[in-house]
Structure 1
Amino acid sequence: MTTDVIVPPMAPGKLPLIGHAVPLIKDRLAFIQRLRTHGPIVRVTVGPKALTVVNSPELMHKMLTSQADEFTKGLLFEKLKLFGKDALPVAEGKPHLRRRRLMQPAFHRQQIAGYVNTMRESVEPYVAGWDGGTPVDVKTEMQLMAQGVVMSALFSAAPPRETAHMILDSVDTVFKSALQRALLPISSLERLPTRRNRKAEAASTALRTAVSDIITEHRAHPHTYDDIVSLLLTAQDETGATLPDDEILSEIVALLAAGSETTAVVLAWLFHELGRNPDMERRLHEEVDSVLAEGPLTAERLPRLVYTRMLVSESLRLYSPAWLVTRQAVSDVRLGEFTLPAGSDVIWSAYALHRDPDIYPDPLRFDPDRWLPERPQPPKGGFIPFGSGKRMCIGDAFAWTETIIITALIASRWRLRPTPGTVRPVGAISTHPSSLRMVPELRHHTIGRNAR
């Protein structure tokens, strides 16, 4: 490169041999947030592994948009190839572009609007099935609802509860394995027949097996179904070629995994905050009651849930599931004033970005009203819950829609009351609550109305 080489500074606190491993293990979310105070780009080490952390929203935006071709998706996505090496979330370069174009029609906004009735009908049995007064594990319940929605859109049917739990467990196992392998990227360890490695491979196999029969059924009866699998079976690339079954399988497994985990943790945090803020809960109930008084929730009525969407936005901000996302420099990269050598492993965190006091006043306060149109909005690149640029999550509109629908349907029937105990964010594959049990309490005046 012709410009002067300026290497990003090393973050303070590095110890011999282990680097920054101690604070990362002790509280990784607090550590990743503290790094923002040390400059726009800093380096950390974990044992022998060096990582570059991009903190600046401007530089993060460039990395994800105008300079996106200078980076691959990096360690975390490489390890997620357990889902299939060509699936959209892990594909790179021209294969990624071709696959995204092929799948885009399934996630067009008009197509998403057509899923609304399916989403509602999928969620209603879960919402009606709670036992008032009996504590529930909120994250698990939200995962089951979100997974039911995704599977209904994918396959035209939600699984039995036992099958759903198996899929959830498999998704969690594969995600945890990917994160562990990304933070300790020693390939030789991944090939050892350890219990952890065997469990990850078994989970990946179980996920693929769980959906392969459904693809076979769709092939056998192509006119019976109208869902995402149907669209993928008939989608053609620019050469007129369709996807083979094994690649459709990889896409479905990846969508199933992403669609249940991230939506569920956002919903869990949303109802945790409502349990602590009665005034917000009241405003939500008033809005939902008003909209549902006119009939079932439909695509036409969805835009009227303005405050519901603000609650979702604030949950995505304060508890962004993406606490750690990776990239890797393809060649020497100039990012701002700094030079990142070829092969540099890069980390960015939407969770830390969304809690930056320079972007959000009083950032640790849950305040849905900060999303009112008359309030100052974050700068470009300051709110990226689904990423940005050409690798932005293809299912963002789907996720927004299902999260709003699930929130509204729960609120139409229940209050969720907190139980004693401390709830704190944990940085695993997503930012999930340490433990969140709440007690559903029926809202008696809504029974018999259009909540169902």
Structure 2
Amino acid sequence: MTAVHGAPGIPPLVPGGFPLVGHGPSLVGGSRRLTFMESVRAHGPIVRIKVGPRDVVVVNSPELIHKMLTSQADEFSKGLLFEKLKLFGKDALPVAEGKPHLRRRRLMQPAFHRQQIAGYVTTMRETVEPYIASWDGGASLDLKTEMQLMTQGVVMSALFSASPPREPACTILNSVDTVFRTAIKRALLPVSVLERLPTRTNRKAKAASSALRAAVAEIVAEHRAHPDAYDDIVSLLLTAQDDTGAALPDDEILSEIVALLAAGSETTAVTLAWLFHELGRNPEMERRLHEEVDSVVGGTELTVDHLVELPYTGRLVQETLRLYAPWLVTRQAISEVTLGEFTLPAGTDLIWSAYALHRDPNLYTDPLRFDPDRWLPERTQPPKGGFIPFGSGKRMCIGDTFAWTEATVITALVALKWQLTPEPGAVKALGEITTHPSQLRMVPRPRGR
């Protein structure tokens, strides 16, 4: 594949089309999406590719990505993928733009303050331990699903004071998965008119969105019925006021909670699934993890004070976030914008890939090797903008510290009780809404310390 350079200031065009869309396997070939995004990095800091009939600009340079997300953030909207994620709710924080985004972020920020998150650790532990204890030693697990149920349970208990039984929790989980799959497909479709057709996929997406809002409506109704019993994000939203002093509309409250539920569980669950997959392939790393958690936590209940004493556990989480970061994030130029030496017309669709960025050999030594010790302070670290699993700037994921803490807690709690052995079979990385394992079955075996 060779880049064809255009006139000065115009990004080059990568010929041959963009194999993410079109027909046949291109729309569902998740592993091909990842391979393509990695290959595009060889063609320069900014390149232009085809997504169906559209030209899309891929930003590869870590410096330019950093500018786009920080100093020049106001020159870009969130773009195509986030537009499709409005299936969760058109006004929710993850998809909101401009002043509405700023107001909603300020409203919800206290719930994600570091001190507040420290207080969530006990809730995280009490939520996760029953899931882990329910595993049947020697029986195969669909590990991604188990991790999704755990992280969804943590979000619901810590932020919504809710704890649904396993069957309703699975219904919520399946609905979230359906909406995410629909959003990524719609973002890659050549024409948006297909979204309005009464296809089976569109009907399933609509039903999934309705099921999510119904589940969340029950939580909101419970909070309204017993307002003095709760102090969480739902309470915060129910007592919030807009610029006119009016309460937030019910539809906005539902949208916000649904979006938090989806975004708050997806990335962390997939990260944990990949982490234990890597440990299953690296017995020495697993031994070091078990040794650390046994010496720090063994025989006691895990608390927030233990987390600073688990540096190797933290590096395992960080390395997993590097190697299996989200593969596609979008932006759109609001007006004509100059990014580096390139001039982009108003309306230009842009994408960037943390997955490809984090695997660039110019930024990381031996980038495809899972090496948690690369994050030791004495080792060379990536440049600014070279490690951004949660984005950067004012639109950086509001729950990044929550996710870091949750992933560390769950990793430690699983490691205290179980050794996870992989079942035979290839595990491929797929470009879905995040970077998913194709399938991941593991067998938990009780640890004898």
TM-score (norm 1): 0.94
Corresponding residue number in structure 1 for 2:260 = 255
Q: Give the direction of change, closer, same or farther, for the CA distance of 1:386–1:21 in structure 2 (3 Å limit).
A: farther
Q: Give the direction of change, closer, same or farther, for the CA distance of 1:8–1:22 in structure 2 (3 Å limit).
A: farther
Q: For residues 70-96 of structure 1, what are the alpha-carbon distances to aligned partners after superposition, in whole Å with 9 as ceiling and x for unaligned?
A: 110001100111111110011001111
Corresponding residue number in structure 1 for 2:4 = none
Deviation at 1:6, TM superposition (A): 1.2
Deviation at 1:292, TM superposition (A): 1.1
Deviation at 1:229, TM superposition (A): 1.3
Corresponding residue number in structure 2 for 1:163 = 168
Corresponding residue number in structure 1 for 2:300 = 295
What is the rounded CA distance, in whole Å, between the counterparts of 2:23 and 2:331 in structure 1? 19
What is the rounded CA distance, in whole Å, between the counterparts of 2:247 and 2:108 in structure 1? 11
Is the 1:75–1:328 Cα contact (8 Å) retained in structure 2?
yes
Corresponding residue number in structure 1 for 2:56 = 51
What is the rounded CA distance, in whole Å, between the counterparts of 1:22 and 1:344 in structure 2? 27
Q: Give the direction of change, closer, same or farther, for the CA distance of 1:295–1:25 in structure 2 (3 Å limit).
A: closer
Q: Give the direction of change, closer, same or farther, for the CA distance of 1:294–1:132 in structure 2 (3 Å limit).
A: closer
Corresponding residue number in structure 2 for 1:11 = 14
What is the rounded CA distance, in whole Å, between the counterparts of 1:254 and 1:69 in structure 2? 23
Tell me, what secondary structure is at the counterpart of 1:304? coil
Corresponding residue number in structure 2 for 1:173 = 178
Deviation at 1:154, TM superposition (A): 2.3
Supply the AA of the counterpart residue of 1:157: A
1:84 aligns to 2:84 (yes or no): no
1:440 aligns to 2:444 (yes or no): yes
Deviation at 1:110, TM superposition (A): 1.0
Q: Give the direction of change, closer, same or farther, for the CA distance of 1:57–1:213 in structure 2 (3 Å limit).
A: same
Q: For residues 250-271 of structure 1, what are the alpha-carbon distances to aligned partners after superposition, in whole Å with 9 as ceiling and x for unaligned?
A: 1110011012211111000000
Is the 2:51–2:190 Cα contact (8 Å) retained in structure 1?
no
Is the 2:78–2:95 Cα contact (8 Å) retained in structure 1?
yes
Is the 1:21–1:45 Cα contact (8 Å) retained in structure 2?
no
Supply the AA of the counterpart residue of 1:142: M
Q: Give the direction of change, closer, same or farther, for the CA distance of 1:144–1:29 in structure 2 (3 Å limit).
A: same
1:305 aligns to 2:310 (yes or no): yes
| 1:315 corresponds to which of 311, 315, 320 | 320
What is the rounded CA distance, in whole Å, between the counterparts of 1:252 and 1:19 in structure 2? 34
Deviation at 1:42, TM superposition (A): 0.4
Deviation at 1:20, TM superposition (A): 11
Tell me, what secondary structure is at the counterpart of 2:227? coil
Deviation at 1:193, TM superposition (A): 1.1
Instruction: Output aligned runs, 1:187-336, within 5 Å.
Output: 187-236=192-241, 240-293=245-298, 295-320=300-325, 322-336=326-340
Tell me, what secondary structure is at the counterpart of 1:377? coil
Corresponding residue number in structure 2 for 1:182 = 187
Corresponding residue number in structure 2 for 1:448 = none
What is the rounded CA distance, in whole Å, between the counterparts of 1:103 and 1:217 in structure 2? 20
Corresponding residue number in structure 2 for 1:415 = 419
Q: Give the direction of change, closer, same or farther, for the CA distance of 1:262–1:319 in structure 2 (3 Å limit).
A: same
What is the rounded CA distance, in whole Å, between the counterparts of 1:214 and 1:365 in structure 2? 43
* RMSD between superposed Cα atoms in Å: 1.9
Supply the AA of the counterpart residue of 1:257: A
Q: Give the direction of change, closer, same or farther, for the CA distance of 1:141–1:177 in structure 2 (3 Å limit).
A: same
| 2:372 corresponds to which of 368, 372, 375 | 368
Supply the AA of the counterpart residue of 1:159: P
Supply the AA of the counterpart residue of 2:328: L
Structure 2: tracts of 5 or more residues without a match: 1-6
What is the rounded CA distance, in whole Å, between the counterparts of 1:353 and 1:365 in structure 2? 15
What is the rounded CA distance, in whole Å, between the counterparts of 2:218 and 2:25 in structure 1? 46
Tell me, what secondary structure is at the counterpart of 1:296? coil
| Range 241-250 or range 157-166, more displaced | 241-250
Corresponding residue number in structure 2 for 1:401 = 405
What is the rounded CA distance, in whole Å, between the counterparts of 1:285 and 1:48 in structure 2? 52
Is the 2:176–2:262 Cα contact (8 Å) retained in structure 1?
yes
What is the rounded CA distance, in whole Å, between the counterparts of 1:15 and 1:129 in structure 2? 45
Is the 1:415–1:442 Cα contact (8 Å) retained in structure 2?
yes
Instruction: Output aligned runs, 1:418-433, within 5 Å.
Output: 418-433=422-437
What is the rounded CA distance, in whole Å, between the counterparts of 1:168 and 1:423 in structure 2? 22
Q: For residues 115-146 of structure 1, what are the alpha-carbon distances to aligned partners after superposition, in whole Å with 9 as ceiling and x for unaligned?
A: 11111000000010000000101100100111
Supply the AA of the counterpart residue of 2:396: M
Is the 1:171–1:203 Cα contact (8 Å) retained in structure 2?
yes
Supply the AA of the counterpart residue of 2:300: G
TM-score (norm 2): 0.94
> How many residues in Structure 1 have an aligned counterpart in Structure 2?
440
What is the rounded CA distance, in whole Å, between the counterparts of 1:20 and 1:8 in structure 2? 26
Q: For residues 145-195 of structure 1, what are the alpha-carbon distances to aligned partners after superposition, in whole Å with 9 as ceiling and x for unaligned?
A: 111101101222321111111111100110111111111152321111111
